[in-house]
Structure 1
Amino acid sequence: MSKRTAIIDIGSNSARLVIFEKTSRYGFHLICEQKSKVRIGEAAYEKEGYLQPIGIKRAYFTLKSFLHTIDKYQANKTLCIATSALRDAPNGKEFVQWIQKELGLSIKVIDGNKEAKYGGIAAVNLLPISEGISIDIGGGSSDMTLIKHGYIVDTYSLDLGTVRLKELFFDKGVNPSEINEKAKAYIQHELEKLPEHFRHTLAIGIGGTARTLSKGIMKQVAYPLDKLHAFTYNVSEHRSYLDAIPLSSAKNLKRFGLKKNRYDTIREGTLIFNEILSHIGTETVISSAAGVREGVYLEQLLKKDNLKFPSRINPSVTSILDRFQPLVNIQKNQKTKRKLASNLYTVLQQDINDNKQYEKELLWAVKLSSIGQTLTVYRSHQHAFYIAMQELNHGFTHEEILLISFLLRMNEKELLNKPLFTHYKPLLPEKSTLLWLSFIYTLTVLLQEASNNAGITFTYTNKTLRIISDKPLYLAKEKVKALEKPIPFAIIIEDESTLPKNKKLGI
């Protein structure tokens, strides 16, 4: 696959450009994103679907600008797709041919089911979910994917879009209640076409409407983490908020904490979203910052893997290690560190007593422990924290992201950063658990850095932790002695200098 791949998505409301850079077989990251509110379908729905000159002109200049950006970033491959506005337009084919002639850009017009599939590919690979229904509300259609056991089992596209509803209903009256009733009837009539098996308690919100609503809810509840992807909320808890938006006048939308650039279609989009959630029996919504564009990219990246990352692969972790892991941190050291952490977590269970509930997050943190050193060895733990907070996105819940990042922030001088803990407390484990995890992480990293791949085992009895090594741990002894502990207990190191010559490890 190309080193840099540009993807252009022409929707009814907006056109977007993203450029992904591939860092390894399964590693990639976003290096450019641009958007223009093209509204290519403006005024089309009242004129038998024909694209009008005002939208065509905006689309042309937007695509021309995108191509300049693609050239600047030296992308090796460009993929351009178009959705409902062009596939519905009788003159859509002429527009595609004209753009090809004028700009040399090949546009692939995809149907609603293909659009839904791309959203589903992004959801199953980049969110911590294995089941649910993805909902992508665009300007002209709402595209849905049914996901079970981590795979796409069905797709469906409804002729429900924000621009379509705006022009058919919201632009024709001043009484919000009357508009809503007429629009609701239209939406419900269209929803009758949705197959009966499209029912699930979890909805995956893809696209501008769902993202805007999630950001509004995050603002309403003062959510501590500024990260949209994987943000989850209970529908019943925010029902009054969601119901009030479609009934609002355009002037009063500011009271909902929504971005101004979404005012023109958010009432229509929210009404569609509410009706779909009710129809399919949704209780919980998980937000996705990834959608059709990521799906297009992943279809190329994962075409030999049945469109799924292997179970052992997390694309965010892979990309971080590709870009930030020091050369000295070879694979053998990685495995040794993770084994040390797991063993230490096991022997300390008599006091922790959490059934190793957070082992997965602990081992991810250990795997990423050296990433801050790529920038500088000074305050490397702080650099690691910020890298993880920004780049650790795909396949993790917010709670997992915060715990991994929090552990990376620790060093031998502190087990708990109080300001960070206070700020993120609602999403972190309880304090006593966090202290134990921080201790295990810090001691593991400290021992590995000082041991030169020694064979190390642990025992923990009578409030005494024994660290037994077949090689010297001289450099670690002073640091271990000064290491803060979650509770009072002794630490004894038995290494090459203290073990009898004939004593074997573990005996």
Structure 2
Amino acid sequence: MTKEKAAIIDMGTNTFHLLLVELNQNGFQTLYKEKVPVKIGQGGISNDLIHPEAQNRALNALGHFRKLIDKENIKQVYAFATSAVRSAKNGKEFTQFIKDQLDIEVHVINGDQEAELIYEGVQFSGSLEDENSLIMDIGGGSVEFIIGNQHQALWKRSFEIGGQRLLDLFHYHDPILPEEIGRLMGYLDDRLTPLKEAIALYQPKRFVGASGTFDTLTDMYYASVHLSKEKGERVFHLPRIIFEAFAQKLVTLNKAQRLEIPGMIPMRVDMIVVATCLIEYILKFVDADELICSHFALKEGVISKLIKGAQLEVPVYINNSH
């Protein structure tokens, strides 16, 4: 593979990510990356709609991304939309509008495709070993679970129980009330039966969290022990006992207090409570003594496939007029 540039856009329910890279046969070099808290699910996800204000935020972010892509003269643009767009009644018209306005072809991927790309990204990070791991990626709209090892994914499934959905359904008071947590746990009990059955079958002993919430939890941990993450590090370790202490603390704090935690970022502060409750619930079924946190997720899964020369099930949009 000769050196070539690519742009990957991950239009998540909470956050839009842009990653500009130069690819070569040994890997990739990051030219630029940025994340914007678009919160496309806010105000509409529970009604399967993208709210007009969320659409405006999305277009502003994507217009900004388009300028950066053009500045680097990148022709290969891979844009993905996930849960909020795929479940929205106005999702198709929204992606068409993006195409008309900004010349960005958005590929709306299903839950299986999303889980597959997350697995690729986590595998690429070096987070997996021969022993089976349960991999978890918490989005704003959906949560993907994959059971697998460094050689293959054995089972994967996407559940529409992301942070924004759980926030809308259960987190009415701040701090969250014990009865709200109780209802949330009961809901997860009902919804996650297929996952519990898969865990019983494949017996994963390792727990790997992909990016997002897990990046923030490891940032909080590193800040608490006065360490800083090294540039280029892809895998971080969070002792389970420390995670449990964070989880117990987070449910007692209001938003202003959560924001004061070293390592917390504003774009994560609203969803961190329900996301942490969700992780706590899952850890009841996995006997792991640490959370392994992969800094790579969906975007890097796309890069991994590009490096391998694998066929991406996406339209590759190359516009030579730019």
Q: Normalising to structure 2: TM-score of the pair?
A: 0.87
How many Å apart are 1:157 and its aligned residue?
0.9
Equivalent residue, structure 2, for 1:212: 216
How many Å apart are 1:45 and its aligned residue?
3.1
Map residues 427-506 of structure 1 onto 2, 5 A cutoff. Answer: none
> As a proportion of its length, which structure holds more helix?
1
Separation in structure 2 between the aligned mates of residue 31 and residue 174 of structure 1, nearest angstrom = 40
Whether the 8 Å CA contact 2:95–2:105 is kept in 1: the answer is yes
SS at match of 1:279: coil
Separation in structure 2 between the aligned mates of residue 59 and residue 238 of structure 1, nearest angstrom = 33
Equivalent residue, structure 1, for 2:248: 243
Separation in structure 2 between the aligned mates of residue 255 and residue 286 of structure 1, nearest angstrom = 25
Greater relative CO, 1 or 2 (CA 8 Å, sep 6+): 2
How many Å apart are 1:206 and its aligned residue?
0.9
SS at match of 2:104: coil
How many Å apart are 1:179 and its aligned residue?
2.0
Map residues 145-156 of structure 1 onto 2, 5 A cutoff. Answer: 145-156=146-157
Number of residue equivalences: 303
> As a proportion of its length, which structure holds more strand?
2
Equivalent residue, structure 2, for 1:65: 64
Separation in structure 2 between the aligned mates of residue 263 and residue 173 of structure 1, nearest angstrom = 12
Separation in structure 2 between the aligned mates of residue 303 and residue 156 of structure 1, nearest angstrom = 25
How many Å apart are 1:237 and its aligned residue?
4.6
Q: Give the alignment partner of residue 302 of structure 2, picking from 269, 272, 296.
A: 296
SS at match of 1:231: strand
Whether the 8 Å CA contact 1:243–1:274 is kept in 2: the answer is no
With over 3 angstroms needed to count, the CA separation of the structure-2 counterparts of 1:26 and 1:174, relative to structure 1, is closer
Q: Percent identity?
A: 26
With over 3 angstroms needed to count, the CA separation of the structure-2 counterparts of 1:288 and 1:149, relative to structure 1, is closer
How many Å apart are 1:176 and its aligned residue?
2.4
Which letter does structure 1 place at the counterpart of 2:87?
D
Q: Give the alignment partner of residue 230 of structure 1, picking from 235, 238, 261.
A: 235
Equivalent residue, structure 2, for 1:111: 110
How many Å apart are 1:196 and its aligned residue?
1.9
Map residues 159-170 of structure 1 onto 2, 5 A cutoff. Answer: 159-170=160-171
SS at match of 1:75: coil
With over 3 angstroms needed to count, the CA separation of the structure-2 counterparts of 1:195 and 1:182, relative to structure 1, is closer
With over 3 angstroms needed to count, the CA separation of the structure-2 counterparts of 1:28 and 1:173, relative to structure 1, is closer
Equivalent residue, structure 1, for 2:194: 193
Which 5+ residue runs of structure 1 have no aligned equivalent? 306-507
Equivalent residue, structure 2, for 1:139: 140
Equivalent residue, structure 2, for 1:434: none
Separation in structure 2 between the aligned mates of residue 82 and residue 276 of structure 1, nearest angstrom = 26
With over 3 angstroms needed to count, the CA separation of the structure-2 counterparts of 1:273 and 1:66, relative to structure 1, is same
Separation in structure 2 between the aligned mates of residue 225 and residue 14 of structure 1, nearest angstrom = 22
Separation in structure 2 between the aligned mates of residue 255 and residue 100 of structure 1, nearest angstrom = 40
Equivalent residue, structure 1, for 2:257: 252
Which 5+ residue runs of structure 2 have no aligned equivalent? 312-322
With over 3 angstroms needed to count, the CA separation of the structure-2 counterparts of 1:128 and 1:270, relative to structure 1, is closer
With over 3 angstroms needed to count, the CA separation of the structure-2 counterparts of 1:9 and 1:145, relative to structure 1, is same
How many Å apart are 1:177 and its aligned residue?
1.7
Higher gyration radius (CA): 1
Query: What is the CA deviation profile of residues 155-181 of structure 1, one whole-angstrom value per residue up to 9, with x for unaligned ones?
Result: 111222111111122136765222212
